[in-house]
A = this chain, B = another copy of it.
Amino acid sequence: MSETAKRPRTRIQARNRQAILDAGLDCFSEAGFRGTTLDRIARGAGLSKPNVLYYFPSKDAIYEALLERLLKTWLDPLAELDPGGDPRGELLAYVARKLEMSRLFPRESRLFANEILAGAPRIGPILSGELRALVDEKAAVIRGWANAGRIAPVDPHHLIFSIWALTQHYADFDVQVRAVLGGADPFPAAEGFLAAMFDRALAPETAAGAPGALHAAGRPGGPPGDAGAGRSR
- A:69-108 near B, CB below 8 Å: none
SS of A interface (majority): helix
Copies in the complex: 2
Measured CB to CB, the nearest residue on chain B to A162 is B166
Q: Say yes or no for A12: interface residue by CB 8 A criterion.
A: no
Q: In the bound complex, what is the Cα–Cα distance between A127 and B164 (angstroms)? A: 23
**A28-51, CB under 8 A of B: which get 1 and which 0?**
011111111000000000000000
Q: Say yes or no for A14: interface residue by CB 8 A criterion.
A: no
Q: Say yes or no for A67: interface residue by CB 8 A criterion.
A: no
Contact of A200 among B29, B114, B120, B201 (CB under 8 A): B201
**A182-200, CB under 8 A of B: which get 1 and which 0?**
1000100110111011001
* A179–B128 touching, CB < 8 Å: yes
Of A15-23, A54-62, A210-218, the one touching chain B: A210-218
* A193–B131 touching, CB < 8 Å: no
Q: Range of interface residues on chain A?
A: 35 or more
For this complex, 27 residue pairs linking A to B, each with C-beta atoms less than 8 Å apart, are A30-B119, A31-B32, A31-B35, A31-B118, A32-B32, A34-B36, A114-B117, A116-B176, A117-B172, A128-B182, A146-B230, A152-B229, A154-B196, A155-B189, A157-B233, A158-B186, A161-B173, A161-B177, A161-B190, A164-B173, A165-B165, A165-B168, A166-B166, A205-B216, A206-B214, A206-B216, A212-B214
Q: Which residues of A contact B (CB under 8 A)?
A: 29-36, 110, 113-114, 116-120, 124, 127-128, 131-132, 135, 146, 152-159, 161-162, 164-166, 168-170, 172-173, 175-177, 179-182, 186, 189-190, 192-194, 196-197, 200-201, 203, 205-206, 210-212, 214-216, 219, 229-233
